[in-house]
Amino acid sequence: MLITITTKYLYNVRKALLAVVVASLMAFNSGAQTQNPEFKVKAVFLYNFSRFVEWPAEVFTNATDPFVIGVYGENKFGTSLEEAVKGEKIDQHPIIVKYFTAASEVINCNILYVSSSNKEEIKEVITNVGSKSILTVGDSPVFPKFGGMIRFFTQDDKIRFQINDEAAKAARLKISSKLLSVAQIF
């Protein structure tokens, strides 16, 4: 079932087509720990968000400062994120991926994926982020409710997302109307 879904949508998603197919087959065959196709898509989406969101200039002190995509909590992406951002740049900022385990660590990044469904944990991370210009992304249905900016969800076998534009605006992030147009507004 899962394989069918991923195969279907991966067909349209950039990169990793072959990898996903192989991975899916492997998952089907062994059922063992492997890269999750759903997160492959999410990894790409995370990277793509960077193209549709405008960060305030003062976020970067140098033109060549890295653009950081952070993952808080359990890494469900495997190496997908690294693969998605490999060699990519935003303006002149090289994109790098960082993994955080403590909520207090999350301040130094531009996009933060909160890999937790724990309400308290989510609250803590978002509180920690505060008004910093960090685009917060999560999976929990309550994530936007607690001030998270983008939430992934599955609809008709496709990964879609919900956007809390108010929260983004509060963090001085300008989300492109185009991104909004393909998203569900919270």
Rg from Cα positions in the chain: 16
Contact 63, 91 (CB under 8 A): yes
Rounded to the nearest whole angstrom, what is the least distance from the CB of residue 128 to another protein in the complex?
Answer: 27
Q: What is the C-alpha separation between 133 and 42, in angstroms, rounded?
A: 21
In the complex, the smallest distance separating the C-beta of residue 127 from another protein, rounded to whole angstroms, is 28
Rounded to whole angstroms, how far apart are CA atoms 81 and 71? 10
178 touching another protein, by CB under 8 A: yes
Q: Which range of residues in 6-14, 21-29, 64-72, 94-102 is near another protein by CB under 8 A?
A: 6-14
Q: How would DSSP label each residue in 38-77?
A: HHHHHHHHHHHHHHHEE--GGG-SSTTPPEEEEEEES--S
In the range 70-89, which residues lie near another protein by CB under 8 A? 88
158 touches another protein (CB under 8 A): yes
Instruction: Give the shortest CB-33-to-another protein separation in angstroms.
Output: 26
Binding residues (CB under 8 A) for another protein: these are: 9, 11-14, 17, 41, 45, 48, 51-52, 88, 90, 158-161, 176, 178-179, 181-183
